[in-house]
Structure 1
């Protein structure tokens, strides 16, 4: 391929990518991963997750916990990807190996006590619908189905390498630990009391039964 053709091809892809990004932002003022698609699906929340390989491990956890009907209730579910759950499995495997001085031991899906598993999954479930249209940059407080306190809010960022000419807003989920953190954090604030916040890579999937948001891959399942 000559240099002119290579340059033209690259420019074409860049322009296509930029067009997709701008179109997505105009439509929703929001773009974090993935592509712009219709927010509605005729699938239940469980079936939507099951047909996507990104949630294979999550479906295994839901099945082991016997929570298919709960997931398909009138709830907002913040789903963790396979990568998030693997972070927990790897950490528990390391703990197991150290405790027994045996590097061949692994913590698997079968190792989870069912009661702990149900509590962990319910930690990501909220009664009713939580949607972007009802959120702002100010914190909105919710209790999950375990009765724990959380904040769901929008966050602004300009960290997109100059692609956009205005800040992009994304949704975040924060687990509150010993009361909401002051903003900004004062010097010497106890590490153990710092709230745990994660952004969503995909938001606002309206399933047949509820609302689905997807946490980023770096989220540590059940906030370790």
Structure 2
């Protein structure tokens, strides 16, 4: 697995401040912290393959045999390699505890194709989901394995660093129905939806729509 870029907290603060200030001036999507044209002549698969932050994701797509699906008329809320790295680290920790062997590792080769296929399809939605169709109210969509997810607009920046009226997109894994708004303090933890900001949104590829889930999201929605 390729090494991933790591930014200092201060560096991220400066980067996000620049991005969000730009967003206040122009409603556009972000790619790695820069305002960019939202159309590409590449397919969704080829766009991801051209970006080193998705090297491991491409390996998983190939292993699951999902290239054709990713390149169909779908919206793909793609996890980054960093999200996959967090997942493998979590599985490694659990495996080491179960086997009492600190040297054992859970790797990409440990992933079984059927489980991997369904897990990747959890990020895939038929048709095009774009921010112009969304509001602050969560809108529910079915993913390719029939699970309920929601997309919506949210206020503010990443990690509370900066928030000044900027509307970002978020994806929500719905658990036992959408959480009430506001959510009561005593709401059971096991029923709480899992929400993540999309760090890149609205890339219109030759075949579909691509969004990118924030890096601290753990692949498989763990």
TM over 0.5: yes
Instruction: Tell me the residue number matched to 1:54.
Output: 53
Cα separation, partners in 2 of 1:32 and 1:172, compared to 1, 3 Å: farther
In the alignment, is the contact (CA less than 8 A) between 2:95 and 2:105 conserved in 1? yes
**Aligned counterpart for 2:168 among listed residues 167, 170, 173:** 170
Check 1:197–1:19 CA distance in 2 against 1; reply closer, same or farther (3 A cut).
closer
> Does the C-alpha gap of structure 1 residues 135 and 20 become closer, same or farther in structure 2, counting only changes over 3 Å?
closer
1:29 touches 1:168 (CA, 8 Å); kept in 2? no
In structure 1, what is the Cα distance between the partners aligned to 2:129 and 2:100? 45
> Aligned residue for 2:221?
223
Greater shift in the superposed pair: 151-160 or 66-75: 151-160
* Equivalent pair of 1:56/1:82 in contact (CA under 8 Å): yes
Q: Which residue of 2 aligns with 1:3?
A: none
* Equivalent residues of 2:78, 2:123 under 8 A apart: yes
For 1:121-160, what aligned pairs fall within 5 Å after superposition? 121-157=120-156, 159=160
Q: 1:42 to 1:93 in 2, by over 3 A?
A: same
Secondary structure, aligned partner of 2:197? strand
User: Structure 2: how far apart are the matches of 1:156 and 1:29?
Assistant: 15
Shift of 1:29: 6.2
TM-score between both structures, scaled by the size of structure 1: 0.86
RMSD over aligned Cα atoms: 2.1
Gaps of 5+ in 2: 1-13
Q: Which of the two has higher C-alpha Rg?
A: 1
Q: Which residue pairs with 1:207 in the alignment?
A: 205
The Cα of 1:33 is off from its aligned counterpart by 5.2
Equivalent position SS for 1:28: coil
* Secondary structure of the corresponding residue to residue 34 of structure 2: coil
**Residues 25-64 of structure 1 correspond to what in structure 2 (within 5 A)?**
25-28=24-27, 34-64=33-63
Q: Which stretches in structure 1 are left out of the alignment for 5+ residues? A: 1-13
CA contact (8 A) 2:19 2:33 kept: no
